Chains A and B, each alone.
Chain A
């Protein structure tokens, strides 16, 4: 009996030792964490970014170099990071949230997790590209386009209006789309605002009648266009250049529709999380992303639209003035829910 108890205690002791060791591992990583209630003056901010590392690391490094502020970035999927910030609650280590789409910012705003930005920052960008409540701000925009395979489709066949794609000549799996993708859903939301619920439903049903092929998101659509698997695809503008960079003979080109939701702008933006202890540094970050230097980077390196008002550099894109963006709050989740319901009703989702 005594032997057994000793062995049991030995076992417990070993477990405790193990747990403590692991805990120390954890502590080591955590020593950089700031004590509660103290403003951190050490010049470090944490960004949760749904924007890809390959695209924005250079510009973040430029920020660090020019300001001396250390930036730690957690890269991930926008929606998952939003859910993480919400689950972390008041213990969230995040100072900033860099979202790939406005909907995610809206999700945080709805639960009052974003701080109101100062007006000097908000004024840098047109009202249609920022939160009506001033809680997030668009940094760059991506235009919706209809990309097409140049070998399979003659440029002249392409309709001027997005409605043209409901024509039966696009039947039989020629169209590629991504109903689960955030940018597509934002496009449908814009459609509903511009043309009304009934018209949007009609358009969706028209496309579905043409038997479109479904993809999980934008880049598989562009890849499929390259393979000739589909003829046209509803995507964002900036993926094509990535494919062309890896293969200059990639047989796909942009087509923009005129004056309708088909060529709207989606916004990638920043918001300051309410648990930040570095509000000033966070605002510096946003400030930098809206500076000419950074906006020029986005325009020429990532092929996105700079949103800084009055900037002259636009890179190799269609001018912003030719792009319609309806005056709606793209981060309005209730609006997004309406879009989802519509998509589910017509059977697209």
Chain B
């Protein structure tokens, strides 16, 4: 190892003690926007007195808080256990039908929780469900109850584990095979290489995905509600729904934010300061696929089980509702306008989120500094909050201070950015970490200034993270509900709002067609992204 050319340059691009102004400015603008919900909550809670304190320390509040905390832990751990093998199997091994499994295992994310949980109960509920009906001839009168912990964990795991899959996949694609080859040449077998070399390198992406799963679990209300799980979000919901007390709801939401900050701190500590890029130049080549041999059967079984539960089952139930509706003469809704609306806002949302996330990530990765880290962390606040809280905070600020923009498409897109930016931040960050600063140094040494380097070298190399982030934001926006209901222009409906409207009034068959279209369109985006990943691999293979 020869000595560093510039002893003060830590990350090769620039002196970390001097944050470039334009990046800092952009990131600050983003962060201020993301802090609006928090500001709203503080303003709302400020007027409360003793009553608020009594609510916070009430045993029921503490109990539901602990419930939600453990739920988040359980869901995250189980999701990771499922997701990491799946990501590995679909990227690095010769699993038969790998391309289709890649898509199928990531797709459950497109299913909205308010549809998925309904479907699980219809399929696996204790009595009268599809499974119980199948087993009835064998004397099974009643299945064990799916409600409570079982149902909540199952539903959340099944529909959020893809966060981790996508995140890890992007990392695996960017992994330099030289690391593993070096490990092999030093005598480690495949298993040891995986555990000692590959897995540690996947740590940032696993953690990034897990963070999303954990925060989503904390913020979700639909699933615990249907699965009869006594969650913290239920306590918040009761304040809005029954007491019509926005201030009490705000103080509870603040508690949730505090917990989210705690989780973010833990994640930050867990990251460590390890470097994830390799120092050698290496040649850009994809790693050799690992041959599974007879392990392919358990692997296939595993993938089938997961996809069966998370994708086939909900789609099956929805299709059943659709067919039942058609046979009853239910007219299929005219969904084209809705689909177009959904795709329109989701695309804008993906674009806006990526644009907002890039400065924040570059700052956090290339210019490590307390301020840049703080800015990056602050983007996660919106994701940890229930959608209604973020929506109301923007109603508050929008109606009062940005009246012209209020209930416009622009404000709606802004809401989506606040809600979903962490999805892009995590994946872009993980991608950036795997880019060696030497490449950027080389560009600088050839005369490129900082912005040009970022534009022509860094960002193109971070493409896997950018694409994954865009795909995630697109399909999450497709199914978003609370913010759309309150902030979209009046009369602007999406597939998601239409599905909600139908199921709310028990028009299940009418909800089926939009649900299937929603899943289909979101799947297209997922398929496009995964095909792009593969094409890059194929190009290099040649």
A and B bind: yes
Indicate which residue in A11, A89, A182, A219 contacts B26 across the interface (CB closer than 8 Å). Answer: A11
Q: Inside 8 A of B395's CB, which chain A residues have their CB?
A: 84, 87-88
Seed contacts A7-B22, A75-B485; 17 additional CB < 8 Å A-B pairs: A4-B450, A23-B410, A26-B410, A27-B408, A30-B404, A52-B501, A55-B505, A74-B485, A79-B242, A79-B244, A92-B399, A103-B244, A180-B234, A220-B226, A222-B506, A223-B506, A340-B243
B interface bracket (residues with beta carbon within 8 Å of A): 35 or more
Nearest CB in chain A to that of B58: its residue: A344
**Interface status of B388 (Cβ within 8 A of chain A):** yes
Q: Inside 8 A of B242's CB, which chain A residues have their CB?
A: 79, 103, 180, 182, 185, 336, 340
Indicate which residue in A7, A29, A80 contacts B486 across the interface (CB closer than 8 Å). Answer: A80
**Interface status of A154 (Cβ within 8 A of chain B):** no
Q: Inside 8 A of B85's CB, which chain A residues have their CB?
A: none
Report Cα–Cα, A8/B449, bound state, in Å: 12
Segment touching A, from B122-130, B425-433, B459-467: B122-130
Q: Inside 8 A of B504's CB, which chain A residues have their CB?
A: 52, 219
Residues of A participating in the B interface, judged by any CB pair closer than 8 Å: 3-4, 7-8, 11-12, 15, 18, 22-23, 25-30, 46, 52-55, 72-77, 79-84, 86-89, 91-93, 103-104, 106-107, 180, 182, 185, 213-216, 219-220, 222-224, 226-229, 239, 242-243, 245-247, 333, 336-337, 340, 344, 349
Q: Inside 8 A of B489's CB, which chain A residues have their CB?
A: 29
Residues of B participating in the A interface, judged by any CB pair closer than 8 Å: 21-22, 25-26, 29, 60, 125-129, 147, 225-226, 228, 234, 237-238, 240-244, 246, 324-325, 328, 330, 355, 388, 391-392, 395-396, 399-400, 403-411, 413, 449-452, 482, 485-486, 489-491, 497, 501-510
Q: Inside 8 A of B403's CB, which chain A residues have their CB?
A: 91
Would you list 17 pairs from A and B whose C-beta atoms are within 8 A, ordered by A residue? A4-B450, A8-B21, A8-B22, A25-B410, A29-B489, A30-B404, A79-B240, A80-B485, A83-B240, A89-B400, A103-B242, A180-B237, A182-B241, A216-B225, A246-B325, A333-B243, A336-B243
Q: Is the CB of B244 within 8 A of A104?
A: yes
Q: Inside 8 A of B486's CB, which chain A residues have their CB?
A: 76, 80-81, 84
Q: Is the CB of B388 within 8 A of A80?
A: yes
For chain B, what secondary structure do more than half of its interface residues adopt (helix, strand, loop), or is it mixed? helix
Q: Is the CB of B392 within 8 A of A107?
A: no
For chain A, what secondary structure do more than half of its interface residues adopt (helix, strand, loop), or is it mixed? helix
Q: Is the CB of B490 within 8 A of A73?
A: yes
Q: Is the CB of A228 within 8 A of B26?
A: no
Report Cα–Cα, A10/B212, bound state, in Å: 34
- 8 shortest A-B CB distances, which residue pairs? A227-B128, A26-B408, A107-B244, A52-B505, A26-B410, A88-B399, A242-B506, A22-B410
Indicate which residue in A92, A93, A185, A247 contacts B324 across the interface (CB closer than 8 Å). Answer: A247
Q: Inside 8 A of B408's CB, which chain A residues have their CB?
A: 25-30
Nearest CB in chain B to that of A184: its residue: B242
Report Cα–Cα, A92/B328, bound state, in Å: 42
Q: Inside 8 A of B21's CB, which chain A residues have their CB?
A: 8
Q: Inside 8 A of B147's CB, which chain A residues have their CB?
A: 213
Indicate which residue in A8, A46, A86 contacts B246 across the interface (CB closer than 8 Å). Answer: A86
B360 → chain A closest CB, angstroms: 14
Q: Inside 8 A of A226's CB, which chain B residues have their CB?
A: 128
